[in-house]
A and B are shown apart, each in its own frame.
Chain A
Amino acid sequence: MADNGAQILDRGYRRYEGSRSGTVGAVRSVAWHTTRSILGLGRKARHKIFPVIVVVIAFIPAIVFLGLTVLIGDLLEDELQPEYWELFGFSNVAIVLFATLVAPEAIVRDRRDGMLSLYLSTPLTRSTYVAAKVIATLGTMSIITIGPPILALLGYTFQSQGPGGVLEWFEVLAKLVVSGLLIVAVLTAVSLGASSLTDRRAFASVAVIMIMIGSLTVTAVLINVAGGSQSLGALSPFSAFEVAPRMFGDRSEDAEEVETWLVVAATFGWIAAGSSVLWWKYRRLGAV
């Protein structure tokens, strides 16, 4: 037999003298692990079903409009091409589905399977642990919220139907990203805040649905049946979607009468409310 120099070595236990990444590395590792967990990566097929469905639903409107533009763009009238901000509205079902069915996975699972006490025995603190979870949820939700409008922007640009100049192009991009991030921030705060109140994912999803759909129903009844002001729409987290048209100097039909300052206040109010519940709950949780 030829001697190729290969050996089997018992490595035993080795001391580690290298550098340690500290809190930053811990946050990065938990955020990445949580992102994979939310998307079902590295897990059984059944854990991938919801994320895949949500991603497909989120991107379909943008892809359809893009396809129409590519195939019969010359025949379409300008009115049929949606505004960029309208793409947030087309994929809002997917965004809400994600916030209710997928995002709770980010924090509920750790409390249920004992990972929380292990995480808190590492360089993470309660604050940095929550930060890692927020980063993961924000990042993942951003894919389905900001991804479709940006895909549409790129598609229209390649079809020479995008914004006029370079500066205008980046302005549209910035407005899409900022308004998308504000929508994602509201839904992340509501989703994680509600999920922090229970150890069961199903209950967390029901709680998020109650807040999202319940508040939407109540405000719709108050406005459309009881004749209340459109400003009452601020009582629902869905009011965050109005940020996008305001960013482009426009108004959606459902909120024409609502002042922009109220839209901004409602957006930050929902972020503050959800974050406060999340922070209050995790400050109270026992560690070990």
Chain B
Amino acid sequence: MSVISTTDLSMVFGHNRALDDLDVDVHAGVTGLVGANGAGKTTFMSIVLGLRYPTTGRVEVLGLDAQADGTEVRALVGYGPERNLLPEDMPASDFVKHLAEVRGMPRSEARGRASDALWLVGLGEERFRALGTMSTGQRQRVKLAQAIASDPSLVLLDEPTDGLDPVQRDEMLVLIRQISDEYGIDVLLSSHLLEEVERICDHVVALDAGRLIAQGRLADLVGDEEGVMVDLVEIPDRPDAIRGVVARLRGDGLEVHHEDGSTRIAVVGPDADLVADRVRDALAESGARVGRIERRRRNLEDLFAPGPA
């Protein structure tokens, strides 16, 4: 069953089509919502939370209609905003407790859960410190704690590693993975950093300028070695060497990406070893000099590129 499901979802702001006819299914586990800044990630999240009404289309969250049942949806969803603004003079424990109460926890329960959530994100000893005295990394953890303190079924995290150094980012990604694996809370993580999504997500939804360009299991979208990338060096007495290599490989039935005038060719085939053998043979026959050759692994960046250039 989908945690989030959209049908023909579009959102138009004036002349700007922020979301364009999206049919998205977000499954259980950790899902990465990826795309450049302005791709529509935050707009998508605000519609999922029932805070914006889409221009057209329908959104179901946890089996509820996000528009008609927005209040019920938000009671079951935790949210960590992108903005790093928090009440400066409020202790972390009071902040998390207050938001747990607003999300429906009884006061006595909220206090205990706020404390637990802050311990879980590694801020147990710091929980009585004012938010204004905390570092960026600690504030990101507090935002995560408030998102999980009310025991939501789903957590939406908008750029949760924004502003973190590499060590803090690693720790935050481990925490997010832990939320799903150990606490059974599904996570929709918005990020423009593809590498971190590849590290922790089970599924990916990729947006580009409001359009859906890919979705599915991460393992199905990245990781396979699919070919070879070759940088050739043009030799003056062999002016057609590169063209010869390209023609030979295409003759072998392989998919070859090459732009006229470029010294780089990318070769894709059903089996990476087979592609490598064919490239080796073509290079030997042409006599072209090789500058660099490497196996090519598909990654999320390929989803946003027109082809393996």
Contact = CB atoms under 8 A, between A and B. Distances in A.
Interface string B81-98: 101111111000010001
Contact of A124 (B77, B102, B158): B102
B151 interface: yes
A122 B86 contact: no
B77 to A, nearest CB: 7
A13 B183 contact: yes
A119 interface: yes
A29 interface: yes
Interface string A276-288: 0000000000011
A121 interface: yes
Contact-size category for A: 35 or more
B71 A44 contact: no
Contact of A20 (B70, B99, B105, B120): B105
A123 B104 contact: yes
B45 interface: yes
B127 interface: no
Given A21-B106, A23-B71, A118-B79, A113 B85 contact: yes
A44 B109 contact: no
A123 B103 contact: yes
A288 B109 contact: no
Interface stretch (B46-54, B56-64, B196-204, B265-273): B46-54
A214 interface: no
Contacts of A249: none
Nearest to A44: B89
A29 B101 contact: yes
Contacts of A11: 116
A252 interface: no
Among A44, A123, A124, max chain B CB count under 10 A is at A123
A118 B83 CA distance: 10
Given A114-B86, A121-B77, A125-B70, A33 B105 contact: no
Contact of B116 (A13, A20, A109): A13
Interface residues of B, number: 43
Contacts, number: 104
Contacts of A14: 113, 116, 151
B43 to A, nearest CB: 9
Contact of A25 (B79, B83, B101, B151): B101
Contacts of A117: 81, 83
Nearest to B75: A123
A16 interface: yes
B87 A115 contact: yes
B182 interface: yes
B104 A22 contact: yes
B42 interface: yes
Given A114-B86, A118-B81, A16 B105 contact: yes
B109 A18 contact: yes
B74 A122 contact: yes
Contacts of A22: 71, 75, 104
B104 A118 contact: no
Contact of A29 (B88, B102, B183): B102
B5 interface: no
B182 A114 contact: no
A288 B46 contact: yes
Contacts of A13: 116, 120, 148, 182-183
Contact of B98 (A18, A33, A44): A33
A185 to B, nearest CB: 25
Given A117-B81, A123-B74, A288-B45, A16 B86 contact: no
A178 B125 CA distance: 50
Interface string B33-50: 000000000100110010
Contacts of A113: 85-88
Among B83, B101, B102, max chain A CB count under 10 A is at B102
A12 B120 CA distance: 7
Interface string B194-212: 0000000000000000000
B6 interface: no
Interface string B136-175: 0000000000101011000010100000000000000000
- Which 7 A-B residue pairs are closest in the complex by CB-CB distance? A20-B104, A114-B85, A121-B79, A287-B51, A16-B151, A288-B46, A29-B101
Interface of A: 11-16, 18, 20-23, 25-26, 29-30, 33, 42-44, 47, 109, 112-115, 117-125, 287-288
Given A13-B182, A13-B183, A114-B84, 5 more contacts: A14-B113, A26-B104, A118-B146, A119-B102, A125-B71
11 contacts: A20-B75, A20-B103, A25-B104, A26-B104, A33-B98, A109-B87, A122-B75, A125-B70, A287-B49, A288-B45, A288-B46
